[in-house]
């Protein structure tokens, strides 16, 4: 946790405080809208879970493409202007959802919103480095990280509650629009000297990206421990990609609950994440990052089959809370391991590649749900996924790369 005097120092920087509030409100609106749109599509499709897999895969694909594009654009364009542009471009898409409720239009519009959100996020993160003194950047990043954990708690609960109470997406969309308006106002008031790469030095930013991608991939393959971590990350990405679009059908079909309870479960996962983040800090003083990472992986592998066999709502909530804690014990441990074992010149490349390895199978899993969702029950899909999770996690222990990871310091 950040100390009070640290927060006061950060927020005395007006540029940072404006960026923080703009990012906070924008992310909160996005979390609320993302949850409400999932519920809306589920209702429009007469509770056909295959559509949930499609909308999830499309959103992640567009978000990832936007993130990849946002990096090179942020090098050549004033980041503040890029943030404002992404906010402006999302406004007509949100407005269109107020009037057009064709399910395919909703999915395409949601995907385009994801695209501009993908451009927004890396540009906002990079802008922190330009408006915050170097000595305060770590604290600023920690504050944004803590804020995201809180939004994971509040956003889904608010989105599900507002949608369930009104049985309409209108109120959610109007709130999201207000966050964009506030964000644009605050971003316009940020004053700083933009640090742009000279055009002659960066004529082909995508070539730079692919060079970095290739270099990161080659470096990971040269280290057995990182290869193992990459494979476990890929496995997690696939299983999470199956779970997320099926969570709502699970709540309605197996737990026999409604949209409010769906929001509650998502929020408890976020609350568990806050607890897990604290435990990660405490446990990190006594255990190696690798031990915590592997503990998280196998704990989650055991929780999935336990959770899907639970028909009591309150027990299910408790398991999801514990699950959130394990996830946020695992993720910081992975980041700490990379920070302590990867040279600085490869740090960004390795992080980018691991993020991509998580997202790509996530998208693929969403497409699989879209294809088989109408042919298998929710329990069957999740049950097969749990077997895959446990089987591949155990098989991974027998590989040389996993042994290298376990033996590493």
Q: Cα separations (Å) of 27 from 23, 124, 247, 284, 404?
A: 6, 11, 21, 29, 39
The chain-wide mean pLDDT, for the chain, equals: 82
Q: Give the least confident one: 220-229, 257-266, 332-341.
A: 332-341
Give the pair of three-digit tokens for residue 256. 């026999």
Residue scoring higher pLDDT (89 or 65): 89
Question: Residues 315-328: what's their mean pLDDT?
Answer: 90
Burial of 375 (0-12, 13-18, 19+ CB in 10 A): exposed
pLDDT at 108: 93
Percent of the chain with pLDDT over 90: 19
pLDDT at 313: 92
pLDDT at 204: 55
Question: Residues 38-53: what's their mean pLDDT?
Answer: 85
pLDDT at 123: 76
12 alpha carbon, distance to own chain's centre = 29
Per-residue pLDDT at 68 exceeds 90 = no
Q: How confident is the model at residue 75 (pLDDT cuts 50, 70, 90)?
A: low
CA torsion sign for 397, 399, 405, 407 is positive
Contacts of 254 (CB under 8 A, 6+ apart): 308, 311, 378, 379
Using a cut of 0.85, tell me whether the model's pTM lies above it.
no
Question: Residues 48-62: what's their mean pLDDT?
Answer: 84
d(CA 375, CA 377): 7
- Domains, the chain, in order of start with CATH, read 12-192 (1.20.1250.20), 211-409 (1.20.1250.20)
Query: Which residue, chain included where needed, has tokens 């493409």?
Result: 65
Question: Residues 125-148: what's their mean pLDDT?
Answer: 71
Per-residue pLDDT at 115 exceeds 60 = yes
Q: How confident is the model at residue 237 (pLDDT cuts 50, 70, 90)?
A: confident
Contacts of 296 (CB under 8 A, 6+ apart): 326, 327, 329, 330, 331, 333
Give the pair of three-digit tokens for residue 32. 């609320």
Q: How confident is the model at residue 408 (pLDDT cuts 50, 70, 90)?
A: confident
CA dihedral 328, 331, 333, 336 (to 10 degrees): -130
């Amino acid at each position: 946790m950040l100390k009070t005097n640290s927060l006061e120092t950060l927020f005395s920087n007006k540029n940072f405080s404006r960026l923080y509030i703009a990012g906070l409100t924008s992310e909160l609106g996005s979390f609320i809208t993302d949850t409400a749109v999932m519920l809306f599509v589920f209702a429009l499709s007469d509770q056909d879970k295959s559509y949930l897999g499609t909308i999830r895969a499309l959103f992640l694909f567009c978000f990832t493409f936007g993130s990849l594009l946002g990096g090179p654009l942020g090098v050549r364009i004033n980041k503040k202007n890029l943030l404002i542009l992404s906010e402006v471009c999302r406004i007509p898409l949100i407005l269109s959802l107020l009037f057009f409720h064709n399910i395919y239009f909703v999915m395409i519009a949601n995907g385009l919103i994801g695209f501009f959100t993908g451009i927004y996020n890396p540009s906002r993160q990079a802008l922190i480095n330009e408006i915050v003194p170097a000595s305060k950047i770590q604290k600023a990043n920690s504050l944004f990280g803590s804020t995201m954990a809180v939004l994971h708690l509040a956003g889904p609960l608010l989105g599900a509650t507002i949608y369930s109470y009104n049985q309409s997406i209108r109120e959610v969309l109007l709130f999201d629009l207000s966050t964009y308006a506030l964000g644009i106002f605050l971003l316009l008031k940020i004053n700083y000297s933009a640090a742009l790469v000279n055009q002659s030095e960066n004529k082909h930013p995508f070539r730079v990206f692919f060079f970095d991608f290739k270099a990161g991939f080659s470096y990971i393959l040269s280290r057995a421990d990182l290869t193992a971590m990459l494979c476990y990350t890929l496995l997690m990405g696939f299983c999470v990609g199956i779970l997320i679009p099926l969570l709502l059908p699970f709540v309605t079909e197996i737990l026999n609950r409604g949209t409010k309870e769906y929001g509650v479960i998502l929020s408890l996962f976020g609350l568990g994440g806050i607890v897990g983040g604290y435990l990660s800090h405490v446990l990190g003083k006594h255990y190696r990052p690798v031990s915590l990472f592997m503990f998280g992986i196998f704990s989650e592998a055991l929780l999935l089959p336990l959770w899907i066999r639970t028909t009591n709502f309150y027990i299910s909530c408790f398991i999801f809370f514990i699950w959130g804690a394990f996830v946020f014990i695992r993720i910081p441990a992975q980041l700490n391991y990379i920070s302590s074992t990867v040279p600085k010149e490869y740090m960004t490349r390795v992080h980018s590649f691991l993020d991509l390895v998580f997202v790509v199978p996530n998208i693929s899993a969403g497409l699989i749900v879209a294809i088989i969702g109408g042919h298998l029950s929710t329990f069957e899909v999740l049950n097969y996924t749990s077997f895959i999770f446990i089987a591949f996690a155990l098989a991974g222990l027998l590989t040389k790369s996993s042994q290298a990871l376990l033996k590493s310091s």
